[in-house]
C-alpha cells in the first residue's frame, strides 16, 4: 500500500492478495505465514482465526478458524508488507471485491459496483459491528511481531451501515488522531481508526 489517503489505505486493506512465498527473498514456512497473517488481530483473537493465502493461483485456507475471523496473508508480489483480518460476515463483500480486482478493475470502480449491488440487494450489507484489522509497511522484509517497528501502519475498521454524523456524533472528517466515519449514510459506512 503506497497511497497516502485513508481511502487508499482501506482499498489496499480490501485488495486481492497473490501467492505468498517469500520474505526478503526466502521461502516462508506455513507457520510463519500464519503468524504474520494473524498479527493485526488482538492476541485473544489470533489462535481462532482462519488464515488464507494463494496457492497455485487460487485463494486457499491454510488454517481453519473457530472465532469467525478470516486473515489474508501478505502478498510478496506487491512491494512492502500488508495483511488484513476481517469478520466472516464481511466475506461476501470482500470476495466480490477480490473477484472484480482480479479482472483488472480499479479499486474505485469495484467499490462503485459493490455499492450498486448493495443497494439492489444482490450483495449483503455488512453486519453492524463487523470488524477489519490490518497492518502495512513499506519494507518487503518487515517483521510484524515487533510493535515498536518504525513505519508500521495499523488500520482498524468497524462497519456501521448507513451511520451518519448526526446519528452517531462521530465526525466524518478524516483524521489520524481520532476515530472518524467514512462513507456516512451509505451501506458501507464504517468507523476508521488508524495509527
Average pLDDT value for residue range 26-38:
83
Q: Is residue 53 part of a domain?
A: yes
Task: Give the DSSP per-residue string, 33-78.
Answer: HHHHHHTTS-HHHHTT-EEEEEETTEEEEEE--SSSEEEE---TTS
pLDDT attached to residue 165: 97
Q: Bridge partners of 69?
A: 87
Amino acid 139: pLDDT: 79
Tell me, what's the pLDDT at 6?
37
pLDDT tens per residue across span 66-81: 999 999 998 777 788 8
Answer yes or no: is 21 within a domain: yes
pLDDT given for residue 146 in this prediction: 61
Top pLDDT among 6 and 68 is at 68
Q: Which of 10-19, 88-97, 140-149 has the lowest mean pLDDT?
A: 10-19
How many domains does the chain divide into? 1
Determine, yes or no, domain membership for 188: yes
| pLDDT in the model for residue 54 | 77
Report yes or no on 164 lying in a domain: yes
Q: What is the mean pLDDT of the chain?
A: 83
> Containing domain of residue 17, as a range?
6-194
Give dist(CA 76, CA 26) in Å, integer: 10
How many whole angstroms separate alpha carbon 165 and alpha carbon 178?
14
Asked whether residue 1 is domain-assigned, the answer is no
pLDDT at position 71 is 98
Q: How confident is the model at residue 8 (pLDDT cuts 50, 70, 90)?
A: very low
pTM value surpassing 0.95 = no
Give 192's strand partners: 157, 180
CB contact at 8 A, 60 and 52: yes
Residue 149 located in a structural domain: yes
Q: Cell triple for residue 27?
A: 521461502
Tell me the longest C-alpha to C-alpha distance in the chain: 51
d(CA 74, CA 137): 11
42-63 burial code (b ≥16 CB/10 A, e <16): eeebbeebbbbbbeeeebeebb
Distance CA 177, CA 180 (A): 9
What are the Cα distances from residue 25, in Å, to 65, 76, 77, 80? 29, 9, 11, 12
pLDDT at 17: 33
Strands 58-63 and 26-27: unpaired
Amino acid at each position: 500500500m503506497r497511497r497516502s489517503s485513508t481511502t487508499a489505505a482501506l482499498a489496499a486493506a480490501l485488495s486481492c492478495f497473490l501467492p505468498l512465498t517469500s520474505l526478503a527473498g526466502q521461502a516462508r514456512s506455513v507457520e510463519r505465514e500464519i503468524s504474520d497473517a494473524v498479527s493485526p488481530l488482538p492476541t485473544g483473537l489470533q489462535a481462532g482465526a482462519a488464515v488464507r493465502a494463494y496457492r497455485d493461483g487460487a485463494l486457499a485456507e491454510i488454517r481453519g478458524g473457530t472465532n469467525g475471523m478470516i486473515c489474508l496473508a501478505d502478498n510478496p508480489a506487491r512491494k512492502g508488507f500488508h495483511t488484513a483480518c476481517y469478520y466472516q460476515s464481511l466475506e461476501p463483500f470482500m470476495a466480490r471485491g477480490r473477484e472484480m480486482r482480479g479482472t483488472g478493475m480499479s479499486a474505485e470502480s469495484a467499490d462503485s459496483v459493490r455499492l450498486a449491488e448493495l443497494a439492489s440487494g444482490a450483495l449483503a450489507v455488512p453486519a453492524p459491528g463487523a470488524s477489519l484489522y490490518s497492518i502495512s509497511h513499506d519494507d518487503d522484509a518487515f517483521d510484524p511481531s515487533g510493535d515498536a517497528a518504525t513505519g508500521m501502519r495499523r488500520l482498524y475498521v468497524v462497519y456501521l451501515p448507513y451511520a451518519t454524523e448526526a446519528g452517531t456524533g462521530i465526525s466524518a472528517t478524516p483524521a489520524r488522531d481520532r476515530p472518524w466515519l467514512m462513507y456516512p449514510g451509505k451501506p458501507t459506512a464504517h468507523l476508521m481508526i488508524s495509527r
